[in-house]
Amino acid sequence: MKIIQVQTQAEAAGAQRISDMVGEGLRARGHEVRTVFMYRKTDAFDADPYADFILTESPKGLPGQIRAAIGLATYLRKSRPDAVITFQHYGNIFGTIGARLAGVSRIIANQSGSPHTKGMMGVLSQIDRLMGVVGLYRTNVVNSAWTEAQFSHYPQAYRRRLRRIDHGVAAPPEDFDKAAARASFGLPRNAWLAVSSGRLTQQKNQIALVGALDQLPDIHVAIAGVGPERDTLVALAKRRGVADRLHLVGEVPPSRIFEFLAAGDIYAFPSLSETFGLACVEAAISGLPVVANDLAVMREVLATEDGETAAIFVEDDATGMAKGLADLMAGPEIMARLSTAGRRLKDKYAPARMCAGYEALLLS
């Protein structure tokens, strides 16, 4: 089967990691799969032989967005795929419209967030609702029980197309040496180090980690990711006098994320909202004990199949994160227990299980 995956932007982020795994898994099952990005945001996929780009840079205003949408529709019409899998709000909407214009009816959308009610995201949620109700998506995938519950008030015509497929999460391909990993990323050799990963945005709430540094003089924090909050984080760290203990390592490609995680002693995840928390589960599977914001979805996904948890859960502010980090630093037995539980998540979130779920939908 010839399959096109549609993503909004090319960068090293969670949704893109999922389409990477889905594409790899489906190709291993004999399918022809490519991923098209509406625009290139970073160089994360420049060397990917299965990636295509509609625009080589972020679209500027409405004219740029129109060019991206028309370019995507043209790409799909020329490609003539048997099926289209779409990701993220814009990818779902424009990918579905483009697929329909290309005569493709086998369309699988992915819901990467709960419905919004305000602003542009609210408008996109309403469009998504309409498209789901009228059946433009053949199937609508959610990635956790919590996410599925966010659509419980939607019309039956929308909900009957929902299917749950938990994200697959890759396990480390090898055991990385901590000292070598720290040297590779320019991180302090002997300090207590909390690591985190994700786009530098207000929603990811890395500012709480900078505040935690102010309360914990014996710990450093390293964050992998890029985004609009970088300057804000740096400025706050300078004002608080902790800039020498905040390490922003920039975008880390998927091929090196486990090397980066190996540099840490603890993984910190202060994100304000998630539908799965892929980066956090990835860290837990690598064996890092996790301190996470107390979100219902994180309690769900960070629990093993027999109910053991791989994290301690705290308030989302600086004080909460500082307390969680301090508790782990003072409790090696807790760290060991969380680490063991996290490694056990490998089977629960095996990428092969996720890919089998997508293939079943495609062939149904």
Residues 194, 133, single domain; the answer is no
Structure tokens at 114: 């709960």
User: CB 55: neighbour CB atoms within 10 A?
Assistant: 20
Per-residue pLDDT at 94 exceeds 90:
yes
Tell whether the model's pLDDT for residue 114 goes beyond 90.
Answer: no
Q: Which of 13-17, 142-146, 278-282, 328-332 has the lowest mean pLDDT?
A: 13-17
pTM: 0.89
Three-class SS of residue 327?
helix
How many domains would you assign to the chain?
2
Q: In 3-state terms, what secondary structure has residue 262?
A: helix
In a domain, 258, yes or no: yes
For residues 25 and 360, give the distance between their C-alpha atoms in angstroms, rounded to a whole number.
13
Cα first-last separation, the chain: 13
| pLDDT score recorded for residue 210 | 97
Q: Write the Ramachandran bin of 338: left for phi over 0, alpha for psi from -120 to 50, otherwise beta.
A: alpha
Are residues 54 and 37 part of one domain?
Answer: yes
Instruction: Give the model's pLDDT for residue 160.
Output: 96
> Is residue 298 in a domain?
yes
Residue 49 lies in a domain: yes
- pLDDT of the residue at 287: 96
Mean pLDDT of 294-316: 96
Which pLDDT band holds residue 13 (cuts at 50, 70, 90)?
A: confident
Does residue 267 sit in the same domain as residue 342? yes
Read off the pLDDT of each residue in 74-100 and give the average, rounded to a whole number.
Answer: 96
Could you read off the pLDDT of 317-346 as tens digits, one per residue? Answer: 999 999 999 999 999 999 999 999 999 999
User: What pLDDT score was predicted for residue 169?
Assistant: 94
Q: Domain range spanning residue 313?
A: 178-348
Domain co-membership, 210 together with 200: yes
Q: Do residues 233 and 319 share a domain?
A: yes
Distances (CA, A) of 238 to 188, 192, 235, 242: 18, 20, 5, 6
To which H or E segment does residue 360 belong? Answer: helix 351-363
Best CA proximity match to 278, nearest among 87, 150, 103, 34? 87
Residue 62 belongs to a domain: yes
Residues 340 and 355 in one domain: no
Residue 173 lies in a domain: no
**pLDDT more than 70, % of the chain:** 100
Name the token pair of 23: 């594409």
Which residues fall within 8 angstroms of residue 354, CB to CB, at 6 or more apart?
18, 21, 22, 25, 165, 166, 167, 168
40: CATH? 3.40.50.2000
What is the spatial order of strands in the sheet that 290-293 belongs to? 246-250, 219-224, 192-197, 266-269, 290-293, 311-314
Q: Can you give the pLDDT at residue 154?
A: 97
Residue-wise pLDDT for 122-181, tens only, equals 999 999 999 999 999 999 999 999 999 999 999 999 999 999 999 999 999 888 999 999
How many angstroms separate the CA atoms of 247 and 79, rounded?
43
Percent of the chain with pLDDT over 90: 93
For residues 162 and 13, membership in a common domain is answered with yes
pLDDT, residue 352, reads: 95
pLDDT of the residue at 79? 96
Does the pLDDT of residue 53 top 90, yes or no? yes
Mean pLDDT for all residues in the chain: 95
Contact 122, 41 (CB under 8 A): no
Domain annotation covers residue 18: yes
- Report pLDDT digits (tens) over 230-243: 999 999 999 999 99
| Residues 344 and 213 both lie in one domain | yes
| 158 found inside a domain | yes
Tens of pLDDT, residue by residue over 187-230, are 999 999 999 999 999 999 999 999 999 999 999 999 999 999 99
Q: Are residues 190 and 114 in the same domain?
A: no
Q: Are residues 137 and 184 in the same domain?
A: no
194 and 333 both lie in a single domain:
yes
Residue 250, strand partner residues: 224
pLDDT of residue 284: 98
* Whether residue 147 is found in the same domain as residue 192: no
Q: Give the β-pairing of 51-55 and 32-40.
A: parallel
